[in-house]
Structure 1
Amino acid sequence: MLELKNITKKFGSRTILNKLNLTIPDRQILAIVGPSGAGKTTLLRCLSGLEKIDSGDFLWDGQKFDPAAPDSKSHIIGVVFQSYELFPNLTVIENITLAPTLVLKESADQAQTRAQKLLGQLDLTGKEQLYPYQLSGGQQQRVAIVRALAMEPHILCYDEPTSALDPALRTKVGEIILKLKNNNNMTQIIVTHDMEFARQVADQVFKVKALDDKKVI
């Protein structure tokens, strides 16, 4: 179980997250919804360690952890970014195995075996030697999901996973998220402005909003 206790994040005098408390049970899907500028992506960046909080605590199964810590043992949360962030000069398999070999110190064989299994789960078998530019947008997104899963996170987060997708791809993303929950027992957090999508896939929906001139969760 992931717990956020009194999480506060400021940029200068501007408060983005204000003493936020939130609990995400294991194997559930949480959707964080709200308008642009209300703090959704900031919260995701704090969870992933890309931003350091000003105060508060993150707890995993009752134990405090720091997402921003360089220690590989703190790799509890994986993130699939809106722009996917794939390395354009690396093939699909190289994108997926790079971090496990460098950060988790896995052997090349171990990383390759896990990558192949995950690629199969997301219907990407046969795409291993392609480069990102040779893939469709939906395929790139699935590769980004596989890359995040290859680090064996306990929780997988998505930043606007349905942004600019057509209805068919939007449905496919929902199917993938539910498949990961049902088959992989994966806890997932979705940051989205798409309330309809959130209601379709999430076990719980957490709404954020902007108050006055300050953006406060």
Structure 2
Amino acid sequence: MLEVKNLSKAYNDRQILKDISFTLNDGDILTIVGPSGAGKTTLLRIIAGLETNDDGQILIDGKKYDSGKVGVVFQDFNLFPNLNVLENITLAPKLVLKKEKQEAEDDAMRLLTQLQMAGHEKQYPYQLSGGQKQRVAIARALAMQPKILCYDEPTSALDPNLRQEVEKMILGLKKTGLTQLIITHDLQFAKNVADQVLKVKPLNEG
């Protein structure tokens, strides 16, 4: 379970987040919705350990927060252009988790099959569509065995008719017991996939 309690963040005296609190139960999906400037991505970056918060606390299973338990799928996917799909997915498990090459590749192929990307493992990012890049980015994040997977605007970089495919993929991952947190401005998408929706707005709107 992820608990966020009274989280606050400011940049150069501009308050971005103030007293944000929520609980995300294991296996559930939380969507955080709001317009640009509401601090959604800042919140995700804090949860992912990429930014520090000024006040408040984050707990996972009632214990001090460990950002290593959180995976992130970025809006622009951040795939390494010089590595093929299989290499993108296996790099971190080999370096960080110290997995042997064969084990890392076996795990990667299992994830690619699960995400309907088997057969693409030797392709490079420039050869993939936006939806395919997203699936590779998800596989790469899952390869690190996170307890929670976070997405930053998973539908924004994709053709609108792919939204339903993204919904099916996220709900499919939910069936595996994965806990997911999604940042989005797409309220309908948020309602379609979420167990709970947290709405945020720019602080200057009161």
Same fold? TM cut 0.5: yes
4+ residue segments displaced more than 4 Å: none
Where does 1:63-212 land on structure 2 (aligned, <5 Å)? 63-67=63-67, 75-182=68-175, 184-212=176-204
SS in 1 for 2:123: coil
Q: CA deviation at 1:6?
A: 1.7
Q: Which residue in 1 is equivalent to 2:18?
A: 18
2:75–2:157 contact (8 Å) kept in structure 1: no
Q: Give the deviation of 1:66 after TM superposition.
A: 4.5
Aligned length in residues: 206
Cα separation, 1, equivalents of 2:158 and 2:130:
9
Matched residue type, 2:177? N
Cα deviation code 1:159-194 (max 9, x no counterpart):
000104233311100000000001x20110110000
1:136 maps to a residue whose letter is S
SS of the aligned residue for 1:36 comes to coil
User: What SS class does the counterpart of residue 212 from structure 1 fall into?
Assistant: helix
Distance 2:77 2:24 in 1: 24
Distance in 2, Cα, partners of 1:29 & 1:15: 27
- CA displacement, residues 37-74 of structure 1 (integer Å, 9 cap, x when unaligned): 0000000010111111112211111101243xxxxxxx
Contact 2:32 2:198 in 1 (8 A): yes
CA change 1:49–1:34 in 2 (3 A) is: same
Q: Say whether the 8 Å CA contact 2:7–2:19 is kept in structure 1.
A: yes
Which residue of structure 1 lines up, in the alignment, with residue 45 of structure 2?
45
Contact 2:76 2:157 in 1 (8 A): no
- Fraction of identical pairs, as percent: 60
Determine the structure 2 residue equivalent to 1:31: 31
CA distance in 2, matches of 1:118, 1:40: 28
For 1:77 and 1:9, locate their aligned partners in 2 and report how far apart those are by CA, in whole Å.
Answer: 20
Deviates more, 1:117-126 or 1:49-58: 49-58
